[in-house]
Structure 1
Amino acid sequence: MKGISKSIIAIIIVIIVIIAILGAYLVLTSHKPTTSTTTSPAITSSVTLTVVTFSGESAQFIQYAGELFSQEHPGVTVKVITYPFSNYIDQELSALESHSSEYDIIGFTSTSAQRVAPYLLPLNTSLFNMTDLIGPQEAFGGIIYNSTLGKNITIGIAYETAVYLMAYKPSIFQNATLANEFYQEYHISFNPSTWQNWTDVLDADQFLVSHNITKYGFLIDDHVAHGIIDAYPAVFGWYYARNNTLNHGLVGGIPGFNIMFEGYIPPGFSFPLPSFNSTSGLEALEVYKSLISYEPSPSSIQISYDNLAQFYPDAAGAFLFTSQLSSFNTSQLQDTYLAPLPGGYAETGTDFLGISKYSTHVELAEEFLAFLVSPKVQTIAFLKFSKFPVSKEAFLNLISNTSLPTYEREWLSAVYNASLNAWANPPNIPPTYISLISDFNSQVYNYLTGQTSAQQALQTAASDWVQAEASYYG
């Protein structure tokens, strides 16, 4: 009986071991990774990424890029919804303030960045090749200081390069006879890319208009609704950079406040004071008015973003954002070269895309933004939509592309160099869009149209700005 018992026990043990091994095998195989390639929700189901921004060619580029993205991501649709520039921010805020998930990706400009910032997620910058993106373009609106976190965060990605610089006509400025006459009279080069100060521009205006070579000099925006806040800092930047009392060693000013404020916060204040109500600011304003005297009077016709191309044929050149070139006809484009502002700097005017806090497709939205600023897509932006890339690699590839017209390669080289030194910017702190722009523009316009003095205009605007800061920052 003992022998039989031992045999039975041995058999039972073997059976138990076999069961244990079989159980372990079943557990392991039940956790084996699948080899299927259709695990991504973006692929297995239909997903729509909705972008909201202002209407225009930039929106068309985003939509085109979205179609390319869809080809690489079956099941994903990118839908771009646009509103007129005049009210797109209000439309966006209406949805964001109600915590709507209607929009995944939010478009905004440099000066409206702080208005939408509370509703945007910090971007996962590890998904982007940030070293390939032109820093000054990204910094002016894409990166803001978060006082709660105590650090800078990236809320948006610049998807094109836009800088405010000088356009001029080679048919005029490469004319050897005119160049010789100008040098004999003013003793400076007739090549705008060599000009070192704003007096050189005024000399060229005086020469060309007085000799009836052109009807107007270099056009510059003087529109009271928005243009003045773009044009004045472009001129003032030259003076601000050379006045250490104003900039305190920060050529571009404190980020966010930029050159229209002093480069330090005085004791007893939680914000910097305006810089333009100074001797340097006054000089810049007087130069600005002199520039405008060589174009239609602002009391009758204001030069603006929308109508500059209309007057360009009768002018020597213009100070403009590169995005305005899209409104020029072919003959105008072929007779246009670009140069930095006098002294070798520029102003930024970049547009951005950020991701809504209420988006239900955050990772996919970030993936699309990374795709949008990739060198390949950025190259397409220029070739198909004449949008200057924000990718350095795309810029350099285009500059070396000998199949492009000479004037386009000249643009690319000039814009690339100017974009790396674009710091003469207006503010983009929260009150900017709400009150600073209108406060400043209305006062300067009153001066330009003879309704007040230069000093009174700047002092009143500065006082209004300090009140706006105090209301916001305390």
Structure 2
Amino acid sequence: MSVTTGCGGGSGSGDEGGSQVITIWDQEQSAKDIAEGYAGVVEQFEEAHPGVTVKVETFPFAQYRDKMLVAMKGGTGPDVMTLDQVWTPEFAAAGLIAPLDDRIGESDVIKEDDFFEGAWQSNQYDDQMWGVPLNFDVWEQMYYNADLFRAAGLDPDNPPKTWSEWNDAAAKLNQPPNSFGIGLIGCKDETSSVLTDSFIFSNGGEILDESGDVVFDSPENVEAFEQYQTLLQYSPAGSAGACEQDVVNQFTAGKAAMILDGSWQQDTMKNAAQFDWRIALPPAPDGKEFVGALGGWNLAVNAKSENQDLAFELIETLSQPENQAAVNSLIPALQSAGEQFVNENRQQPEVILAALAGGRPRPASPVYPQLSQVQQAAVQEIIGGADVKSVLTDAAKQMQEIIDTNS
């Protein structure tokens, strides 16, 4: 067994002391020693497969995707790798990962009904399955400061449930410069896309339709971004540069009465928020239900691996509940393991599980990163006060050009 961190170069079918070697790559997860988590799984797999050595290599997130693309396009790379949900279509379209439909169909271990629905769907592209879910989470829950709610005459046991109630609460909570109604992520990175996706999805909007055409400027999306723009008037100045940690800091300092973020931030809140904090499902448009945007990681098989059967067997081993829990600091994608994780580790687990059950993957497109960059630029303009309809119309044209150019 070999577990290393931050190493370059993959293996594939190499050999170590006469053993058959398979390699798995993963990103480093901050909340636990991922190498330690993999050690027991690897030992279990090697005992069941005499003569096989498993090498685990982990990389910082910022380096991971580029290292993997370089290795795999060069014909090497790992046998098994974790992929961000939004990378899966890109890797599939480029022929870098193998479709898994036949293997999943024959598996006694991997069954669709055992996984959270949204996590399973994130592996589907071009009518095929390209991975098996490892973990996932949803953007987002609404964190709120119950003490500030009371001070504003609001009932903390009855947080806003609709967009109109949300706007009213934000206005009452807005007490600048001491505190603000809400802190909103707006900086130009993926968090602003996935956050605003939840506004879009909750209002019945889409970014791409079923045919893969851009519908970013739909009436539903215009309404969604107008709601985001309305809330901005109750947020601290500088939302265009406010990233996730910035709004978390605003909240824990008592400067923002509400923020939108994922369940992973509860670890921070438990240590840093010195007040009565709670979570709720974010408000939805009047008469509709909140729909969050999913994120997470899937396990895929290198299309050029000479050990694809063994690679899939390793995925099967990693897809057992106790093993998913061992290698995760995020919510395991297996429903039984995920529910146990949330119930044991999170405050108000019923809120998180409800958000997970209603979550949807981001658009399945091989050019998703480029589409997201256009969306991020649109968010910047909207924060600056630009007309939402005009911004979305221009953005939709840019997105469609990207798709057409890469078709």
Task: Give the TM bin, normalised by the shorter chain.
Answer: 0.7 to 0.9
Selected match of 1:201 from 157, 166, 178: 166
- Output one character per residue of 1:114-135: Cα deviation in whole Å (capped at 9) or x when no partner: 2211211123212413321111
What is the letter of the counterpart of residue 441 of structure 1? Q
Query: Alpha carbons of 1:330 and 1:45: their partners in 2 closer, same or farther (altered >3 Å)?
Result: farther
CA contact (8 A) 2:141 2:355 kept: no
Aligned mate of 2:334, from 391, 399, 406: 391
Report the counterpart of residue 403 of structure 2 in structure 1: 469
* Other-structure match for 1:56: 29
Secondary structure class of the residue paired with 1:108: strand
**Number of matched residues?**
375
More off after superposition, 453-462 vs 216-225: 216-225
Q: Provide the residue aligned with 1:110 in structure 2.
A: 85
Q: Normalising by the residue count of structure 1, what TM-score does the alignment of the two structures yield?
A: 0.70
Aligned equivalents of 1:362, 1:119: Cα separation in 2: 13
Query: Over residues 158-193 of structure 1, what are the superposed CA-to-partner deviations in whole Å (9 max), with x where a residue is unaligned?
Result: 2112111223246438x7x558x336xxxxx8523x
The structure with the larger Rg is 1
Q: Does 1:135 align with 2:124?
A: no
Deviations 1:62-117 (A, max 9, x none): x33320122222463331231433x43222111111111x3122222122222211
Q: Where does 1:392-407 land on structure 2 (aligned, <5 Å)? A: 392-397=335-340, 404=344
**157 and 60 in structure 1: CA distance in 2 versus 1, 3 angstrom threshold:** farther
Higher normalized strand content (fraction of residues): 2
Q: How does 1:255-274 map to 2 (within 5 A)?
A: 259-263=206-210, 265=211, 271-274=212-215
Structure 2: which 5+ runs fail to align? 1-13, 284-288
RMSD of the alignment, in Å? 3.2
Once the two structures are TM-superposed, the CA of residue 325 in structure 1 deviates from its matched residue by 4.0
Q: 1:334 to 1:430 in 2, by over 3 A?
A: farther
CA drift at 1:346: 1.9
Displacement of 1:58: 7.4
Cα distance change of structure 1 residues 440 and 76 upon mapping to structure 2, 3 Å threshold: same
Match of 1:281 in 2: 221
Instruction: Note if 1:191 corresponds to 2:138.
Output: no
Partner of 1:418: 355
1:340 matched to 2:281? The reply is yes
CA apart distance, 1:335: 5.0
> Are 2:316 and 1:370 aligned?
yes
User: What's the offset of the Cα at 1:153?
Assistant: 1.9
1:440 to 356, 371, 375: 375
Which SS does the other structure have where 1:307 is aligned?
Answer: helix
Change (3 A) 1:280 1:359: same
Match of 1:234 in 2: 198
Look up the SS of the partner of 2:400 in the other structure: helix
Structure-2 separation of matches of 1:463 and 1:78: 45
CA distance in 2, matches of 1:310, 1:70: 38
Q: Which runs of 5+ in 1 are unaligned?
A: 1-40, 146-151, 184-188, 242-258, 266-270
Identity over aligned pairs, percent:
16
Query: In 2, distance between residues paired with 1:108 and 1:352?
Result: 5
Q: Cα offset for 1:334?
A: 9.0
Q: Corresponding residue for 1:290? A: 230
Partner of 1:92: 68
- Deviations 1:263-294 (CA, angstroms, capped at 9, x unpaired): 5x4xxxxx4231x3133222211211222333
The reply on whether 1:154 has 2:129 as its aligned counterpart is: yes
**Which shifted more, 65-74 or 48-57?**
48-57
What SS does structure 2 have at the residue aligned with 1:51?
Answer: strand
Q: Aligned partners of 1:448 and 1:211: how far apart in 2?
A: 19
Equivalent in 80, 89, 110 of residue 57 of structure 2: 80
Which amino acid in structure 2 is aligned with residue 119 of structure 1?
L
Correspondence for 1:7: none
